[in-house]
Amino acid sequence: MRSEPVILGVAFGYLALLFLIAAWGDRRAEQGRSLIGSPNVYALSIAVYCTAWTFYGSVGRAAQFGPSFLLIYLGPTLAMLLAPFVIRKMVRIASAQRITSIADFISARYGKSSSLGALVALIALIGITPYIALQLKAITVSHAVLVNYPEAAELRLADEPFWLDKSFWVALVLAVFIILFGTRHLDASERHEGMVAAIAFESLVKLVAFLSVGVFTVFVLFQGPGDLFARVAATPALAERLGLDAVPGGATGWAGMLVLAFLAFLTLPRQFQVLVVENVDERHLARASWLFPLYLLAINLFVIPIAMAGLLLMGGDADPDSFVLTLPLAAELQGLPLLVFIGGLSAATGMVIVETIALSTMVSNQLVMPLLLRSRRLHLGGRGELAGWLLGIRRVAIVLILLLGYLYHALIGDAYSLVTIGLVSFAAACQFAPAMLIGMFWRGAHRRGAALGLIAGTLVWAWTLLIPGFAQSGWLDAGFLEHGPLGLAWLRPYALFGLEGWDIYTHSLLWSLAANVGLLVGVSLFSRQTPLEQTQAALFTEALHPQLLQSSLWHGQTTRGELGALLDRYLGSAATARVFADAAAGEEEDAAAPASPAQIARAEQALSGALGNASARVLINSVVRGEALDLESILSILDTTSETLEVNRRLEQKSRELARASEELRAANERLRELDRLKDEFVAMVSHELRTPLTSIRAFAEILRDSGELPEEKRRHFLDVVVKESQRLSRLIEEILDLARLESGRLTLNPQRLDLVALTRHSVDAVHHMQEDRGVALEVAIEVEVAPVVGDPDRLEQVVINLLDNAGKFADEAEPRVRLSLVRHKNHYRLAVEDNGPGIAAEERERVFEKFHQIQRPEESPDKRRGRPRGSGLGLPISRGIVAHLGGRLWVEEAPHLGGACLIMELPQAPAQTP
């Protein structure tokens, strides 16, 4: 299982699988069905942060320095919590300006300065090479451990010729691999969707591999975490390592490491690549803000148990960096060590792939291209040859970067353990933080300040970390570490200016950042920005400004033909077509027509995506006459908008209030119209209601007057009708008067204490006869003995009769039923009258209390209604008015028993009678 061919076969098989995933991802991207359009994939791709250094080195660091290894992951956790404030802004800027790398970002912020971009690229190259060396070392060492176990993994790198050294071949294989899928084509947005998909997959693989070893260690080698930690607690030498005393530099070292990891997470070129450049949708940040820290927590969960188990079982002389491999090997397992090896391999390759692509982009765009453009050695013959040039430069850069990493590894890699090398690179990347972060939030930061700060910070870093590293690996005489160069004790690298007792990283970070920030701020305060830098500074600091529209800010002049020729030369005809996509069909051929500002802006963006900001600016300036960018107007936009924004906000609030008020007014107006309509109807209705009985009275009276010889029987009948109609008339007039009094508040009530039960029975008796005539089955359920209320007996009776009468009218046609109930509800009495009619729709329930409102029953034909008593439509409004005057309520509900409408009258209980 552990023979050389098997291991090589598995490793190459894994690389081939990665390549397939990447190719698949690229294919899907071309088809527009992106694989990486998910926040989860984005979060996993950020986990490229966890390199071989995490995979093997964390255990080593935990074994030596206790929980301090966790700081490397707590820092990024803090940074990701800040993502909605910081990283979102970076993403917004990068997509607006087509940023391709962190060097491009810093160069664009400080006026598209090509020298600053070159400086950043150079520092990144120097600072990150050791980190790549570390990954090569991890792959080689893990391979050696796997093959040679149980013999020690002897590696005398410098002694043997390089062609026998495995890590040389590892570097070459990786170079070929990265060239194959990192530079397959030149993307205008400099995004590598396939690569991101592969990286996300690798993140899963390394997590699974590490968790497998963890579970194996805790639950197979030991009986769970309790057993393991009981044995650790019993061994004082180990228990000590769990505490803060094991952390180098104590509390200061703790805080320093946290800051170091926080800043490095944002500034490492590969993190910038996956976080900012490869981000496809800034909304993905919300998920990544917690999912990525969760990933970190998961991959670190078993680090301490594995470290402690290794120390307990392997003894003191074993290399703690290899515990992850040697623990399962010692247990004579076959599959698990191979899985661990693959996990480590994916951690290492993931990092090398992204880092090398990021670095090669920087080298080609920030170092080589500006030189070629300046020296005019670049003879581009045909169309779109630049893409070939760029890819060629990048491929060469990839090979050189990996060989540089190999060289570093071969020459001084033995002097440091894994974690130490990684931290040196972290401290180097931190030097970008002031220029980047301060530049994003302070408009005054100046190019010269940034450059001087970067140079000074990097020099201090080199003196306090890099050169001592060379000395410790025997390149230099290590004497100056102890006594300082030329005997100058205050210049000792590990105790600069006599600052002793700090751990070397915190010490280096403090001095380098102090120099860096000090120069950046100090020089900026005394420098004047060029207009272009002013503009870029404004665009960066105000990047989250919603009204910032870049394309309208151009007013330089050029012809479409010239611009098209430039794009054709550098990017090829496809890109040119994209830039001119908005031109009308007829205009396309007209090369002499002026290019629109939007087209110039798009042209520069397209060039930026391929060449970097600084070179794109040089090229655009070569064809655009006049000031390409309207600096005055952009600055005035930005300055005024911050003021007007506040004014705007207030205006918006005011207009919202206005809108609300006018909505209320509109509703009130509607209501008034409705009332007006009701009033008209009322008058019409009243006239109609009055006229009907009047007409019949008059008709019958005329008959009586004109025909003297009517039979006695007929006469009596006519007189009866006249009397009845007169009664109806006077009842109607009484109702109208009641209503008028109610509405004007002049209704005189005679409130007195009375028993609602007795009153209800009386009312029921009064209508009983009439209901029986109509065939209505009346059911009475009075659940209380007495119901003392205060009210006007006549009026209340009128209400109850009216309710019963109404219910009878609206009950079911064929089998009318009405139910009256009287119950006590808290300290009220509720009298409910329900019927088994069709009920009242919810939206109609309040309207039945409007004057003359009569429920429309469309399904009822007019002739069916005949013989049915019609209401005047005044009964319910009057009843409600009376009940309200007595302090009660009257409303409609769904009938609980009979299914029709239910009218409920509620009256408060009368206060206890005082004797």
Partner 1 sequence: MLSAPRRRERLLALIVLAVLLFTPPLVLVADRAGTVSWLPLYLFLAWGLVIGLAAWLLEGPPGSTRRPRRE
Q: Does 293 bind partner 1 (CB under 8 A)?
A: yes
Least separation in angstroms between residue 308's CB and partner 1 is: 10
Q: According to CB under 8 A, which one of 78, 176, 455, 467 is a site residue for partner 1?
A: 78
- State the Cα angle at 399 between 398 and 404, rounded to 5°: 100
Least separation in angstroms between residue 649's CB and partner 1 is: 11
Least separation in angstroms between residue 576's CB and partner 1 is: 31
Q: Does 673 bind partner 1 (CB under 8 A)?
A: no
- 150 to 2, 139, 318, 698: CA distances (angstroms): 12, 18, 11, 127
Amino acid at 721: V
Residue 11 β-bridge partners? none
Q: Does 401 bind partner 1 (CB under 8 A)?
A: no
Residues binding partner 1: what is the number (CB under 8 A)? 33
Retrieve residue 479's tokens.
């004497």
**Nearest in space to 535 (alpha carbons), one of 628, 396, 662, 414:** 628
Q: According to CB under 8 A, which one of 25, 57, 60, 67 is a site residue for partner 1?
A: 67
**Nearest in space to 345 (alpha carbons), one of 3, 5, 16:** 16
SS3 249: coil
CA distance 872 to 307: 93
Q: Does 289 bind partner 1 (CB under 8 A)?
A: yes
Least separation in angstroms between residue 81's CB and partner 1 is: 5
Least separation in angstroms between residue 44's CB and partner 1 is: 16
Q: Does 244 bind partner 1 (CB under 8 A)?
A: yes
Q: Does 66 bind partner 1 (CB under 8 A)?
A: yes
Retrieve residue 469's tokens.
């590293």
* Burial group, residue 905, by CB count within 10 angstroms (0-12, 13-18, 19+): buried
Q: Does 224 bind partner 1 (CB under 8 A)?
A: no
Least separation in angstroms between residue 860's CB and partner 1 is: 47
Least separation in angstroms between residue 252's CB and partner 1 is: 8
CA distance 143 to 138: 8
Q: Does 261 bind partner 1 (CB under 8 A)?
A: no
| CB crowding 323-348: b at 16 or more within 10 Å, else e | bbbbbbbbeebeebbbbbbbbbbbbb
Binding range to partner 1, per CB under 8 A, among 7-15, 187-195, 279-287, 499-507: 279-287
Q: According to CB under 8 A, which one of 251, 581, 585, 592 is a site residue for partner 1?
A: 251
Retrieve residue 107's tokens.
């160069």
- Residue ranges of alpha helices (H) inside 542-630 are 560-571, 573-579, 597-611, 613-623
Least separation in angstroms between residue 244's CB and partner 1 is: 4
Q: Does 659 bind partner 1 (CB under 8 A)?
A: no
Q: Count other Cβ atoms within 10 Å, centred on residue 372.
A: 16
Q: What are phi and psi of 151, to 5 degrees?
A: -70, 155
Q: Spell out the residues 6+ positions from residue 756 whose beta carbon is closer than 8 angstroms to its own.
A: 787, 788, 789, 791, 796, 822, 829, 831, 907
Q: Does 211 bind partner 1 (CB under 8 A)?
A: no
Q: Does 239 bind partner 1 (CB under 8 A)?
A: yes
Q: Does 6 bind partner 1 (CB under 8 A)?
A: no
Q: According to CB under 8 A, which one of 8, 204, 255, 647 is a site residue for partner 1?
A: 255
Least separation in angstroms between residue 74's CB and partner 1 is: 5
| Nearer to partner 1 among residue 551 and residue 573 (C-beta) | 551
Q: Spell out the residues 6+ positions from residue 219 whose beta carbon is closer than 8 angstroms to its own.
A: none
Least separation in angstroms between residue 545's CB and partner 1 is: 11
| Nearer to partner 1 among residue 232 and residue 496 (C-beta) | 232
Q: Does 77 bind partner 1 (CB under 8 A)?
A: yes
**Nearest in space to 369 (alpha carbons), one of 21, 181, 612, 546:** 612
Binding range to partner 1, per CB under 8 A, among 254-262, 387-395, 504-512, 657-665: 254-262
**Nearest in space to 443 (alpha carbons), one of 543, 510, 362:** 543
Least separation in angstroms between residue 96's CB and partner 1 is: 13
Largest CA distance in the chain: 153
Least separation in angstroms between residue 83's CB and partner 1 is: 9
CA distance 90 to 106: 11
Q: According to CB under 8 A, which one of 215, 297, 684, 737 is a site residue for partner 1?
A: 297
Which residues inside 535-574 make contact with partner 1, applying CB under 8 A?
Answer: 546
Q: Spell out the residues 6+ positions from residue 74 whose beta carbon is closer than 8 angstroms to its own.
A: 258, 261
Q: How far is CA 456 from the centre of its chain?
A: 38
Q: Does 304 bind partner 1 (CB under 8 A)?
A: yes
Q: Spell out the residues 6+ positions from residue 318 whose beta carbon is closer than 8 angstroms to its own.
A: 310, 326
Least separation in angstroms between residue 54's CB and partner 1 is: 15
| Nearer to partner 1 among residue 46 and residue 352 (C-beta) | 46
Does residue 756 contact residue 831 with C-beta atoms inside 8 Å? Answer: yes
Q: According to CB under 8 A, which one of 173, 176, 242, 481 is a site residue for partner 1?
A: 242
Q: Does 286 bind partner 1 (CB under 8 A)?
A: yes
Q: Does 258 bind partner 1 (CB under 8 A)?
A: yes
CA distance 498 to 494: 9
Binding mask 493-532 for partner 1 (x = CB under 8 A): ----------------------------------------
Q: Does 70 bind partner 1 (CB under 8 A)?
A: yes
CA distance 190 to 280: 12
Least separation in angstroms between residue 233's CB and partner 1 is: 5
Q: Does 290 bind partner 1 (CB under 8 A)?
A: yes
Binding range to partner 1, per CB under 8 A, among 19-27, 237-245, 607-615, 665-673: 237-245
Strands 828-835, 901-908: parallel, antiparallel or unpaired by DSSP?
antiparallel
CA distance 234 to 824: 75
| Nearer to partner 1 among residue 84 and residue 479 (C-beta) | 84
| Nearer to partner 1 among residue 549 and residue 675 (C-beta) | 549
Binding range to partner 1, per CB under 8 A, among 94-102, 253-261, 342-350, 777-785: 253-261
Which residues inside 820-849 make contact with partner 1, applying CB under 8 A?
Answer: none
Q: Does 81 bind partner 1 (CB under 8 A)?
A: yes
- State the Cα angle at 338 between 334 and 344, rounded to 5°: 150
Binding range to partner 1, per CB under 8 A, among 82-90, 206-214, 801-809, 833-841: 82-90
CA distance 670 to 690: 30
Sign of CA dihedral 122, 126, 128, 129: positive
Least separation in angstroms between residue 864's CB and partner 1 is: 52
Binding range to partner 1, per CB under 8 A, among 71-79, 441-449, 759-767, 903-911: 71-79
Binding range to partner 1, per CB under 8 A, among 76-84, 196-204, 415-423, 440-448: 76-84
CA distance 69 to 376: 50
Q: Does 301 bind partner 1 (CB under 8 A)?
A: yes
Binding range to partner 1, per CB under 8 A, among 69-77, 617-625, 794-802, 838-846: 69-77
How is residue 595 annotated by DSSP? P
Amino acid at 620: I
Least separation in angstroms between residue 240's CB and partner 1 is: 8
Q: What are phi and psi of 902, to 5 degrees?
A: -135, 120
Q: What are phi and psi of 464, to 5 degrees?
A: -95, -15
| Nearer to partner 1 among residue 53 and residue 295 (C-beta) | 295
Q: Spell out the residues 6+ positions from residue 546 whose beta carbon is closer than 8 angstroms to its own.
A: none
Judged by the rule CB under 8 A, the positions of this chain that interact with partner 1 are 66-67, 70, 74, 77-78, 81-82, 84-85, 232-233, 239, 242-244, 251, 254-255, 258, 282-283, 286-287, 289-291, 293-294, 297, 301, 304, 546
